[in-house]
Amino acid sequence: MGLFIRKSIEALQAEAKETGSGTLKRVLGPVSLVALGVGVIIGAGLFSITGTVAASYTGPAITLSFIIAAIGCCFAGLCYAEFASMIPVSGSAYTYSYATMGELIAWIIGWDLVLEYTVAATTVSISWSRYMTVFLQGVGIELPHAFTACPWDGGIVNIPAMIIVVLMSLILMRGTAGSSFFNGLIVFLKIAVILIFVVLGWQFIQNDNYTPYIPANTGTLGEFGISGIFRGAAIVFFAFLGFDAVSTAAQETKNPKRDMPIGILVSLLVCTILYILFAHVMTGVAHYTDFSGQVGIAPVAVAIEKMGHPDAAGVIQPAYPWLNKAIILAILFGYCSVIMVTLLGQSRVFLSMSRDGLLPPFFSKINQRFRTPVHSNCLFMVLVSLLAGFIPAQVAGEMTSIGTLLAFTLVCAAILIVRKTMPDVPRAFKTPFVPFVPIMGILTCLCMMSFLPADTWIRLVLWMLIGLDVYASYGIHHSKLEYGQKHRKGDIVLNLTGLILSILSVITGLWHQQTVGWDADKTLLTISFVFAFTHCAFYMWRIWKHPHNRTKVS
């Protein structure tokens, strides 16, 4: 089978028994699935990037961006649900693709998931730092700006963001898991924050802040206007991160055919309504320009300061001075669980890839005392803490969105493939209206991706090239499904993928430079060209080295 060898359903069942997962009990109904979806979807994205998006791309029309993002989630969620019902064990898109589309596609999706979790944890950590700074200011403690912001935001290093990553990583290493009561409390706090914010803030809405509702485009694609709404949709997609967790519960659902679409669609509808109300109040009590700069990463704190009446000097006095501290404290606790879950997701994807032989066994070793993959946890603790300390939140948020959108695009495309290649595999749930739903999912996700900034595309292409290097240099030779094979069929596909990504590196580099101007800094352009030429040489060498593989694609 070569690079497209698939894991058998029997192998996945055996893995589940080895890890003690056993057979999942079907206990979830439609109400339980909706509750699960709402609890997972309402995460840190809403409280972190909405202000920045409104200030930089959409203005008050961020509400329309949420609607567009929700539509894309709906299509992708229905495709996820079919995969979840096909695979007899719980798993991520990496597991689904390995069983249905083969090893190379699974690697690409798994590597993309690592990016998604890494930058998501980074974004939330930076936002946590900003909310903590605001909270401490409220109790009379002023942290130096130099040590609460990255160099791009006028600081030196964001120490609070690094500390929270290290702290959550250490908790994960010890194997400490939150109880269902604690998780339920966090969900309650997140929903309560939104409802309190909407109810109390509604009376302080200034209609003038909605004029114009869609600010005129600045002349640059994606900066306000219609293109800004689509770029905003691509970025606020981050706020829907985790909705696919509903689809992974297919094996625990009493009636998947009926309950899965209800759980996905209703939870998305409820969260979209809450998001729209939140954004409407946020941009109503404060002008969208008030969220520009570093303060935009903590939009709730900015908006609450505007909920009041002006004094004799014209300065707004908050009507609920206690509200800011209480809500921010709730957000800080909620963020901790989100950071922990994203760090957990990173290490578990790495663990799965290592157990399959695609990464060194070092990353799948389990600590005998704590029974956790300590090595993977340490790796991501260092990586994410450095990113949180030295890069701006906007860059991390955009990378989270493009990584998620790419994963959803591949999952939607995979449904079209498995309907042809695996038509007889039992499915408890089938995506309706195929091929319409997966095709619309692909088009919607690609449309949103196309409106993301060019520098975001450069970083995605470079990350995928690095991943392909790891697979070509190590994974392809150590895969447990075809271990010890000197040459594997389909190698030409890997080489052509590397060449295509190299060409995309050049294209995205030129696109970025054209966007920012040819007189601007050319660091990213230089990096993209260096990556392109070195990788072209590498994959051309691989083709020349193994000429017998040039025509073997399967």
Number of continuous H segments (helices) and E segments (strands) in the chain: 20, 2
pLDDT of residue 15: 58
pLDDT of residue 180: 46
pLDDT of residue 250: 59
**Separation in Å, CA 503 to CA 529, 530, 531, 532:** 9, 12, 10, 6
Whether residue 14 has pLDDT greater than 80: no
| pLDDT at residue 253 tops 50 | yes
* pTM, two decimal places: 0.82
**pLDDT reading at 146 higher than 90:** yes
Rg (CA), the chain: 23
pLDDT at 527: 95
Q: Which of 81, 502, 34, 62 is nearest to 267 (CA)?
A: 34
Give, to the nearest 10 degrees, the angle between helix 454-470 and helix 523-545.
Answer: 30
Q: Is the pLDDT of residue 256 over 80?
A: no
**Residues 499, 455: Cα–Cα separation, whole Å:** 20
Separation CA 291–CA 283 (nearest Å): 9
Mean pLDDT, rounded, of the chain: 84
Instruction: Average the pLDDT over 231-243 and give the result.
Output: 84
Residues 153-181 have a mean pLDDT of: 80
Mean pLDDT for the stretch of residues 268-273: 89
State the virtual CA torsion across 264, 266, 270, 272 in degrees, nearest 10: 60
Q: Report which of 247, 542, 169 is spatially closest to residue 415, judged by C-alpha positions.
A: 247
The pLDDT score that the predictor gives to residue 21 is 40
| pLDDT for position 294 | 76
Where does residue 196 rank: exposed (0-12), middle (13-18), buried (19+ CB within 10 A)?
A: middle
Across 103-112, 365-374, 393-402, the highest mean pLDDT is recorded for: 103-112
Q: Which spans in 298-421 are helix H? A: 299-305, 321-355, 374-390, 393-421
The span from the CA of 341 to the CA of 162, in Å, is 16
**Which H or E element spans position 474?**
none
Name residue 530's amino acid. V
Q: Taking a C-beta distance cutoff of 8 angstroms, is the pair 497, 440 a contact?
A: no
Positive or negative: CA dihedral 131, 136, 138, 144: negative
Q: In sequence order, which residues have a C-beta less than 8 Å from that of residue 145 and are 6 or more positions away?
A: 154, 155
pLDDT band at 459 (very low <50, low <70, confident <90, very high): very high
| pLDDT exceeds cutoff 90 at 460 | yes
Region 167-186: mean pLDDT is: 68
Confidence of residue 64 (pLDDT cuts 50, 70, 90): very high
Whether the predicted pLDDT of 417 surpasses 50: yes
- Name the pLDDT band for 100 (thresholds 50, 70, 90): confident
Q: Comparing 550 with 219, which gets the higher pLDDT?
A: 219
Question: Are 111 and 350 in contact, with CB atoms under 8 Å apart?
Answer: no
Question: Higher-confidence residue: 517 or 34?
Answer: 517
Residue pair 482/475 in contact (Cβ under 8 Å)? The answer is no
Residue 476 has pLDDT above 50, yes or no: yes
Whole-number Å distance between alpha carbons of 543 and 539: 6
What is the set of domains in the chain, with CATH numbers? 27-129+176-323+393-450 (1.20.1740.10)
pLDDT digits (tens, 9 = 90+) for 434-444: 999 999 999 99
**Number of C-beta neighbours around residue 102 at 10 A:** 23
**In Å, what is the CA distance from 88 to each residue of 96, 274, 425?**
10, 34, 11
Q: What is the spatial distance between Cα 214 and Cα 201, in angstroms, rounded to a whole number? A: 22
Range 267-280 average pLDDT: 91
**Mean pLDDT across 59-73:** 94
Give the pLDDT of residue 551. Answer: 45
Region 404-410: mean pLDDT is: 88
3-class state of residue 223 by DSSP: coil
Instruction: Indicate if the pLDDT at residue 241 is higher than 70.
Output: yes
Stretch 346-371: mean pLDDT: 82
Residue 72 CB neighbours (<10 A) = 28
CB 425 within 8 A of CB 370: no
| pLDDT for res 24 | 45
Q: Is the pLDDT assigned to residue 410 strictly greater than 50? A: yes
Q: What is the pLDDT of residues 284-338, one digit of tens each?
A: 999 999 998 877 888 988 898 888 888 777 788 878 777 778 888 888 887 887 7
Share above pLDDT 90 across residues of the chain, in percent, rounded to a whole number: 37
Q: pLDDT-derived band of residue 485, with 50, 70 and 90 as boundaries? A: low
